[in-house]
């Protein structure tokens, strides 16, 4: 039997999902809570009842983003061959992550979180999310510390490639963009 959410829980989920989209568009500073409320179809007063401070709403969106990342990495790891070594598992996890960030809202939310990391709650949430991803990648892949570091570094480079459209014309034809995009796969 499906679990039924209370009205407050359902609205909390709706507000967080809308927050991901809205904060991804215009960042932490540029997004008023009223825009998130409007996108969620909820009154601003109710959003503030659920999340008394804008930082709390942004952090909830970022936490949800990292939950989705862990879910994608889990699915990627599960699709690896049973006898795969750490590098192979990380590679399949990377492919799953590349598919996930085809939804640019998850990618852009992380980028905006990095730019707002000087807000203590946001910086803490970002570090907590990165810790979860790094720990999961290390434990699930069994890869070396160097391999996990490359995995995270390549993920960040993938962010740069996607946000700047380096693999699209006319950039893709330039030598320097070719150096940065060589070997990357993403939708």
Q: What is the mean pLDDT of residues 38-46?
A: 96
**In the prediction, which pLDDT does 37 show?**
97
Output 32-40 pairs: Cβ under 8 A, ≥24 positions apart: 33/57, 40/11, 40/14, 40/15
The distance of Cα 171 from the centroid of its chain, to the nearest Å, equals 25
Instruction: Measure the CA–CA gap between 75 and 17, rounded to whole angstroms.
Output: 21
* Mean pLDDT rounded to a whole number for the chain: 92
**Which option is the CATH number for 7-181: 3.90.1150.10, 3.20.20.70, 1.20.1730.10, 1.10.357.10?**
1.10.357.10
Measure Cα distances from 73 to 16, 64, 78, 155 in Å: 21, 14, 8, 12
What is the DSSP annotation of 143-177?
--HHHHHHHHHHHHHHHHHHHHTTTSTTGGGSHHH
pLDDT greater at residue 165 or residue 39:
39
Lowest-confidence pick of 79-93, 125-139, 147-161, 171-185:
171-185
| Residues in CB range of 14: below 8 A, 6 or more apart | 40, 41, 42
pLDDT above 90 (res 173): no
Share of the chain above pLDDT 70, in %: 95
**What's the rounded Cα separation, in Å, for the pair 28 and 59?**
10
Coil, strand or helix at 127: helix
Q: Inform me whether the pLDDT recorded for 70 exceeds 80.
A: yes
């Amino acid at each position: 039997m499906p679990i039924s959410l209370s009205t407050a829980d359902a609205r909390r989920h709706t507000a967080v999902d809308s927050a991901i989209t809205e904060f991804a568009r215009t960042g932490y500073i540029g997004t008023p809570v009223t825009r998130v409320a409007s996108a969620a179809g909820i009154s601003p007063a109710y959003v503030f009842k659920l999340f008394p401070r804008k930082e709390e709403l942004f952090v909830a969106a970022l936490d949800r983003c990292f939950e989705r990342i862990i879910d994608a990495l889990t699915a990627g790891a599960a699709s690896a061959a049973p006898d795969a070594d750490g590098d192979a598992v990380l590679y399949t996890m990377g492919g799953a992550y590349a598919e996930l960030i085809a939804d640019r809202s998850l990618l852009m939310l992380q980028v905006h979180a990095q730019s707002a990391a000087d807000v203590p709650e946001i910086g803490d949430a970002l570090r907590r999310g990165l810790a979860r991803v790094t720990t999961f990648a290390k434990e699930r892949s069994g890869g070396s510390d160097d391999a996990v570091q490359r995995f995270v570094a390549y993920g960040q480079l993938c962010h740069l490639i996607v946000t700047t459209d380096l693999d699209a014309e006319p950039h893709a034809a330039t030598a320097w963009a070719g150096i940065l995009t060589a070997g990357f796969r993403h939708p």
